[in-house]
Structure 1
C-alpha cells in the first residue's frame, strides 16, 4: 500500500493539481478544504494513516500556522511541507519555527515537490529507526514503535498492551522471524519494568550440560572448571524481564528447576547452600506448539500451564501482507543510509506487488535480508524486480533479462556461468562481463543437474572420487561467484595460492581478462 499524503488547501484548482501530482509520484492522497478538517485528522485517531502533509498557509478561519502549532502540540511528528504565494523570508522562518520541515512557493514545480516529498519521507523513516534503536537499548521500546498496519497485528499489540500492565507470565508463539522478541521488548517497555534489565536467553543455542549453570548460576568449585562464581540469567534479570526464546528446547531436568523458580520466586545456583530470591518478569517464546510437545512427553505439562498463562500468537507475514509495503519502505531507508546509497529512495509498484504475492517462509527476517540485498544491487532510484532475483524466480515474475529457462542444456566447451546458473546469477552476468569460463562437465549424459547440486555418481554409476568432487566444487564456486577468485578462495576456506594450484592441477587456468577483475 502506497504512503498517504494529506493535502490541505482551500483553492479547489490547486488542490486538484496537487492530487494529480501526488498520484503521479506513486502515493495516495487525501484532501481537506480547510484547516479545521485537517486538525480533526492530524490530532485524532486517524493521524497514524497520514505519512506526510502538504499544507497551505493562507486559509480562512483556521490558517496553516494554527494547524502547524496544534499538530505539534498534539505530539504528531508527521512531516509537513507548507506552501503559499507569499514567499517572504519572514513567512518561511515563522513556518519553520511552528514545525514545518520544508517550504515551497506557489506555483511549485512538480520536480521540486517530488524531491521534497521523497526526502522528508525518507528522513521520517530514519528518525523512526533511530528512535527505535535508542529505545531498544534503553529498554523503553513500546508498541507505538512497531511497524505495522494490519488488523491481525493490531490485535496482537492490543493483547500485549494488556499483558504489560501486570506481571503475568506470557507465552509468545509464532514462526521463526515474525518478531517475537520485538513484542517481548515492547511489553517490557510498556510496563512498570521499563528501563530495567531485559535479559534474552536462546534456549536452543545452549549446550545441554551448560543450561543449568547459565540460567541459574553456579558457585566457585561447584564442578570441574568452575574457577569463579557465576551469576545466572535469572539473577541478571532481577527487577526486570527474562525472555526465554525457544523455551521448548530446554532439557527435562532443567524444566523442573524452572518450574520451581516460577512457583517460589527463587533459584538454586549449582553448588549453592541455599536458594536465592529473585524478582523477575518471565516472557517465553517458541516456534513450536508446546502442547504437542507435552503430548509427546518432551515438555512437562505442569510447566506448560505455568508458562501459558497469557498466550499471544504472532501471525506469519503471509497472513498480514498489508505490513509488507510499510516494512519494505522502512528497510529501504535504513539500508540505503547504512550502505551510503542515498539515490535508493523507493520501490516501484509492480515490485511491491511481487513481494506481496510471495509466501515469505522466513517472515520479516527474510524480508529484511531480501531488501538489504536489493539495496546493495540497486543502481537506480527505485528497487525493481531485477533487484529481487530469488523472489522473482519463486513467484514466476517475468523480467527483462529472463528470456530463457534458468537451466539450459549445453554443448561441450559451453560457459558454465552463462548456461547453468539460475535467475539470480543471470542478473550478475549482466553487471560484469569479465567472468571466468571453464569446461562444462556432465555426469548425467545430456541432462545437467540443477545448479548447486553435487554429483554423487559418475557416468558409469560408480561413486565419484574425492578429487572429482573437489574439482566440481571449485567449478561451482567459480561459477557462483562470477570468477572473483578472492571470494571463491574465501568461501571454499582455502588460501588463494592453494586455489591457483588446484586450478592448475585440474586444468582450470584463469584467463588473463578475469585476473583484472580481481
Structure 2
C-alpha cells in the first residue's frame, strides 16, 4: 500500500461503534472483505454495486465506505462525487488494481480519504480504515467544540436584560448580513470581546476564524510582524516564513483590542489594509489579498486622541463605520443580579465536586449597592472568589470581599431602583432592616423610623399576613 498519510493518533479505535460499507461488484471479494472487517470488530454491511452503495450510504449511519474503483453500473469516481455532495459524507477508501499515481491523485482530489492498491494484505486495509475512523472522530469533536463555542456567543446566552444592553443586542442582530468594520467602545471589563465574538458568530463569517489580539500587550517592535507576518531572512531571527494574524483571520474576523494604543506608523499601515484589503509581510515584495472583517475596541476616547494628534482621523472613520458603545455595569444595575447568578452557576459547576449555590438576600443587596468600577470582569472575579471560599450552600454578604461589603449601605436606593422595587416594597424592606439592626427591639425601631409603636405593629402584622 502507498503511504499517503501519517497517523494523527495511535490511540485505539472503538471499532464496534463504527459502521463500514463495502461496495464491491465481485461477490467473492465483497464477502471476503465484509467477513474480515467484521472479524476485526467493525459493524459491516455490503453493497453489490455502485448505485446500491450510494443509496445505502445516503440513508446515514455510515462512517467509512470501502469501494472498488471499477464497477459496471457506477465507477468509484462517480460514487465519490455522489457521496461527497451530501451532508456529513462518510470517509471513502478506494480499492483499485489500477495503481497509477494519476488514479490515486484524482480519487483524493474528488474527496476520497485514501486509497489502497491490489493486491493488499487485509491488515493494510484495516490500518487505513482505522485512520479514517480516527480522523472522523476528530472532525466530530472539532464540530462539537465549534458548536459549543458558537453557542456561548449566541445572544440568547449573553446576559443583559437592561434596555441599554437590549439595544446592543438589537444592533448585533442587524449587523448579521454586514461585513462593515465595527468599533466597540466601553470601559475595561464591560465585555467588548464578548460582543465582538457575538458579531462574528452572527455573521456570514461564522464558520471562518475569529482571531483576537490585544495591541497593548504586544511590544511595538514586534507588532508589525505579529499582524502582517514576515518572510524568511527579513531580519536576523526570521529563519522561516511566518503567517501574520491578518492572514490567519482570512475569511473570518480579526478583533483588534486596545486600538487606541496603536503607534502612528502602524496606524498608517492598518489604514492601508482597510482601504486596499491586502497586506505585505515584512521582507516581501508582493501584496497579499485578504478577506477579513475588522472589529476594533478601545476604552479610550479616540476623538479626544484625534484632537491631540495621537490617532489618525482617516483611520478612525474607517474603523467607526458601525459604533457600539457598551455601558458600564453601574449604568445598568438591573443586569447585576442576573450576571451574578450566571457566574455563580458557572463557577459552582466547575468546583470539585460541582456545587449548587445561591445568593442570600443580604449578598444580593451588597452586590446591587456596589458601583463595580471593574465592571462585569470584576463581578465575575468576586463571585469566583465567593465560590472558592463559601462553606455552605448560600453566599452571604460576609462571604463577599470587604470593599464590596462596605458599600452596601451607601447605595441602598440605587439597589432598590435596580431591583425595581415599588414604594411599598421599599418601605417594607427598610422597616425590616431597621428592626433587624435594632436587634428586634420594636420600641427603638419605631423611634428610629419616626413611627409610633402601634403603626409599626400594624405594619409588621400586615407583612406577616402578606407572607402567608
Tell me the TM-score range normalised by the shorter chain. Answer: 0.5 to 0.7
Which residue number corresponds to residue 296 of structure 1? 308
Separation (CA, whole Å) in 2 of partners of 1:352 and 1:242: 38
Contact between 1:140 and 1:188, CA under 8 Å: does it hold in 2?
Answer: no
Separation (CA, whole Å) in 1 of partners of 2:201 and 2:351: 30
Separation (CA, whole Å) in 1 of partners of 2:256 and 2:246: 10
Cα deviation per residue 1:357-383 (whole Å; 9 max; x = unaligned)? 101011111000100111111111110
1:261 has 2:273 as partner: yes
Which residue number corresponds to residue 187 of structure 2? 175
Shift of 1:351: 1.1
Shift of 1:304: 0.6
Pick the aligned partner of 2:221 from 193, 197, 209: 209
Separation (CA, whole Å) in 1 of partners of 2:146 and 2:348: 19
Which residue number corresponds to residue 282 of structure 1? 294
1:395 has 2:398 as partner: no
Contact between 1:139 and 1:185, CA under 8 Å: does it hold in 2?
Answer: no
Contact between 1:344 and 1:383, CA under 8 Å: does it hold in 2?
Answer: no
Q: Which 4+ residue blocks in structure 1 deviate beyond 6 angstroms?
A: none
Match of 2:281, SS? coil
Which residue number corresponds to residue 234 of structure 1? 246
Contact between 1:169 and 1:281, CA under 8 Å: does it hold in 2?
Answer: yes
Shift of 1:336: 1.2
Match of 1:164, SS? coil
Match of 1:199, SS? strand
Match of 2:324, SS? strand
Query: What's the Cα RMSD here?
Result: 2.1
When the two structures are superposed, what TM-score results if normalisation uses the length of structure 1?
Answer: 0.50
Pick the aligned partner of 1:340 from 333, 340, 352: 352
Cα deviation per residue 1:112-151 (whole Å; 9 max; x = unaligned)? xxxxxxxxxxxxxxxxxxxx98646358832122012111
Cα deviation per residue 1:177-204 (whole Å; 9 max; x = unaligned)? 1111110111111111112100001000
Separation (CA, whole Å) in 2 of partners of 1:273 and 1:236: 20
Match of 1:272, SS? coil
Pick the aligned partner of 1:314 from 326, 338, 363: 326
Cα deviation per residue 1:389-433 (whole Å; 9 max; x = unaligned)? 3244441559xxxxxxxxxxxxxxxxxxxxxxxxxxxxxxxxxxx
Shift of 1:256: 0.7
Which residue number corresponds to residue 208 of structure 2? 196
Unaligned 5+ residue runs, structure 2? Answer: 1-143, 411-468
When the two structures are superposed, what TM-score results if normalisation uses the length of structure 2?
Answer: 0.55
Shift of 1:338: 1.2
Separation (CA, whole Å) in 1 of partners of 2:259 and 2:350: 34
Pair 151,358 (structure 1): closer, same or farther in 2 beyond 3 Å: same
Separation (CA, whole Å) in 2 of partners of 1:226 and 1:343: 50
Separation (CA, whole Å) in 2 of partners of 1:379 and 1:164: 45
Separation (CA, whole Å) in 2 of partners of 1:394 and 1:172: 33
Contact between 1:193 and 1:241, CA under 8 Å: does it hold in 2?
Answer: yes
Separation (CA, whole Å) in 1 of partners of 2:408 and 2:359: 19
Which residue number corresponds to residue 97 of structure 2? none
Pair 342,237 (structure 1): closer, same or farther in 2 beyond 3 Å: closer
Separation (CA, whole Å) in 2 of partners of 1:139 and 1:243: 19
Match of 2:333, SS? coil
Match of 1:218, SS? coil
Which residue number corresponds to residue 337 of structure 2? 325
Which residue number corresponds to residue 397 of structure 2? 385
Greater C-alpha radius of gyration: 2
Which residue number corresponds to residue 249 of structure 1? 261
Separation (CA, whole Å) in 2 of partners of 1:277 and 1:373: 47
Contact between 1:142 and 1:185, CA under 8 Å: does it hold in 2?
Answer: no
Pair 325,265 (structure 1): closer, same or farther in 2 beyond 3 Å: same
Which residue number corresponds to residue 480 of structure 1? none
Shift of 1:341: 5.4
Pair 388,349 (structure 1): closer, same or farther in 2 beyond 3 Å: same
Separation (CA, whole Å) in 2 of partners of 1:153 and 1:192: 23
Unaligned 5+ residue runs, structure 1? Answer: 1-131, 399-518
Matches within 5 A, 1:56-75: none
1:157 has 2:162 as partner: no
Separation (CA, whole Å) in 2 of partners of 1:306 and 1:373: 41
Separation (CA, whole Å) in 2 of partners of 1:183 and 1:239: 19
1:218 has 2:230 as partner: yes
Pair 274,343 (structure 1): closer, same or farther in 2 beyond 3 Å: closer
Pick the aligned partner of 2:388 from 365, 376, 388: 376
Contact between 1:344 and 1:380, CA under 8 Å: does it hold in 2?
Answer: no
1:144 has 2:123 as partner: no
Matches within 5 A, 1:378-457: 378-395=390-407
Pair 187,172 (structure 1): closer, same or farther in 2 beyond 3 Å: same
Contact between 2:386 and 2:400, CA under 8 Å: does it hold in 1?
Answer: yes
Cα deviation per residue 1:26-46 (whole Å; 9 max; x = unaligned)? xxxxxxxxxxxxxxxxxxxxx
Contact between 2:151 and 2:157, CA under 8 Å: does it hold in 1?
Answer: no
Pick the aligned partner of 2:317 from 298, 305, 309: 305
Separation (CA, whole Å) in 1 of partners of 2:194 and 2:329: 15
Contact between 2:226 and 2:244, CA under 8 Å: does it hold in 1?
Answer: yes
Separation (CA, whole Å) in 2 of partners of 1:237 and 1:283: 12
Separation (CA, whole Å) in 1 of partners of 2:401 and 2:261: 35
Match of 1:167, SS? coil
Shift of 1:164: 2.7
Separation (CA, whole Å) in 1 of partners of 2:232 and 2:172: 40
